[in-house]
Amino acid sequence: MHFSDRIQALKISPIRRLIPYADEAKAKGKKVYHLNIGQPDIKTPEEYFEAIKNFHPATVAYQPSQGIPELREAISGYYQAMGVPYEPNEVYVTCGGSEALQFVLMILCDPGDEILVPEPFYANYNTFANLALAKLRPIPTTAETGFHLPDEKIIESLITSKTRAFWVSHPCNPTGTSYTPDEVQMLCRLAKKHDIFIIADEVYREFIYETGEFMSFGSVKDALDRVIMIDSVSKRFSACGARIGCVAIKNKEFLGQVMKLCQGRLSVSAVEQVGAAALYKTPKSYLQEVNKEYKTRRDVLYKGLKAIEGTVCHEPKGAFYTMVKFPIDNSEKFIIWMLQNFDINGETTMAAPGNGFYADPNKGLDEMRIAYVLKKEDLEKALHILKNAIEAYPGRIEMIKA
Ligand SMILES: Cc1ncc(COP(=O)(O)O)c(C=O)c1O
């Protein structure tokens, strides 16, 4: 049996890799608090269910490959309201932001071409890059500096004749960093200077916890022909299972390439597009309430993490994740140990090992990605367990007190 080099190069998701250990703990009767996965627990708006309840065409037909007009109009209206001028015909609907990202890499990269990405990065970026036979070149960032970008000169020195784009999750999964307007402008400036694109993955745009902390790449007017906007209803409307996303850009030539791939996969789900169009009619108060809830969780998380001696963490400004450095020898070993050997009153915690968010699996070994998608009380319990587990862990690295 032969499998392609391309598929064999793909790795199992670091977010899901340790699930068998969690299942084993659950089979023994333990409750596991999941800080490893970004599945929001917030209710999907009623507008979605109302719309799909009324969906009853005589035949469930293929839909236009680029998406149904009412959804493209709804997404365009959403952008216009935030000052980003995408017209409906500049928005192409995809099966989640994930398909949009796969399309973009297929469009931009020949084998061996390079994409610059702030590291640590969302683990699936590796999957999408490998499928396109592209190389991810990390822009190094660290917990100590809140995972902000290094100097313009350092970033510019990473650009080669093979570089095709910057790829930025903004605000960032996994770090929780929201890039400053200066950083956004700097990447746009470099992209223009070197004639490359910016893949602006803004699926967490609404999850910003300080006012004035977010500037969309879509608001940099003189870069709109090279900003490839990636979006999704998954997190915004807590509708991950709807599988609706989009790619938007003010660049006809680029959209022509997107269309080829849209036509290749024929159509996105008819009923889900109707549901997603209705999601965009959700009152603004829904997003404001959700934001308030996540801000509370962010505060609980940051307070809980700071209470663990020896951690290096920053206050996450957006999305619902953060990367944290712990005083432990190896985060994967620690998580397995915690699931197998540590509980408080039959309850334990799980996070995602940090190295899965780096291009080099030997990096981030003492880091974990924490998702705060649990309600406040559960998050508090999960962090209490984590603190005690770190103190009891045989591979703990003792801090030298000054
Ligand atoms: C940074 C980032 N981009 C894109 C996606 C893809 O989301 P979806 O395919 O559900 O739209 C995710 C999902 O977790 C994500 O975290």
**pTM of the shown model:** 0.95
Q: Which residues contact 61 (CB under 8 A, 6 or more apart)?
A: 270
Residue 320: pLDDT over 70: yes
The CATH class for the domain spanning 5-43+285-392 reads alpha beta
Pocket test for ligand 1, best of 128, 199, 232 (most atoms within 8 A of CB): 232
Average pLDDT over residues 308-326: 94
What is the position in ligand 1's atom list of the atom closest to the CA of 201?
3
| Strand (E) or helix (H) holding 370 | strand 367-371
Residue 9: pLDDT over 90: no
Structure confidence at residue 195 (pLDDT): 98
Residue 332: pLDDT over 80: yes
pLDDT (tens digit per residue) in 197-237: 999 999 999 999 987 779 999 999 999 999 999 999 999 99
How far, rounded to the nearest angstrom, does the alpha carbon of residue 390 sit from its chain's CA centroid?
27
- Burial of residue 152 (CB within 10 Å: 0-12, 13-18, 19+) is middle
Average pLDDT over residues 311-315: 92
pLDDT (tens digit per residue) in 10-22: 887 777 789 999 9
Beta strands in 170-306 (DSSP E): 197-201, 227-232, 245-248
Structure confidence at residue 252 (pLDDT): 97
Residue 400: pLDDT over 60: no
Structure confidence at residue 251 (pLDDT): 98
Lowest mean pLDDT among 15-19, 136-140, 142-146, 268-272: 15-19
pLDDT (tens digit per residue) in 166-205: 999 999 999 999 999 999 999 999 999 999 999 999 999 9
Q: Are 115 and 196 in contact (CB under 8 A)?
A: no
Average pLDDT, the chain: 95
pLDDT (tens digit per residue) in 374-392: 999 999 999 999 999 999 9
Average pLDDT over residues 148-177: 97
Residue 346: pLDDT over 50: yes
Residue 401: pLDDT over 60: no
Distance 362 CA to ligand 1 centre (A): 25
Structure confidence at residue 402 (pLDDT): 47
Structure confidence at residue 74 (pLDDT): 98
Fold designation for 46-279: Aspartate Aminotransferase; domain 2 (3.40.640)
Distance 357 CA to ligand 1 centre (A): 14
pLDDT (tens digit per residue) in 56-84: 999 999 999 999 999 999 999 999 999 99
Average pLDDT over residues 242-248: 98
Q: What percent of the chain has pLDDT over 70?
A: 99
User: Which residues form ligand 1's pocket by a CB distance below 6 Å?
Assistant: 38, 96-98, 122, 169, 173, 201, 203, 232, 234, 240, 245
Pocket test for ligand 1, best of 173, 231, 279 (most atoms within 8 A of CB): 173
Contacts 24+ apart (CB under 8 A), 390-395: 390/308, 390/310, 390/326, 390/327, 390/328, 390/334, 391/309, 392/342, 393/328, 393/334, 393/337, 393/338, 393/342, 394/337, 395/328, 395/329, 395/330, 395/333, 395/334, 395/337
Q: What percent of the chain has pLDDT over 90?
A: 91
Distance 381 CA to ligand 1 centre (A): 27
Pocket test for ligand 1, best of 93, 124, 372 (most atoms within 8 A of CB): 124
Residue 329: pLDDT over 70: yes
pLDDT band at 38 (very low <50, low <70, confident <90, very high): confident
Distance 104 CA to ligand 1 centre (A): 14
The residue ranges of every structural domain in the chain are 5-43+285-392, 46-279
DSSP designation for 237: T
pLDDT band at 149 (very low <50, low <70, confident <90, very high): very high
Distance 397 CA to ligand 1 centre (A): 34
Residue 130: pLDDT over 80: yes
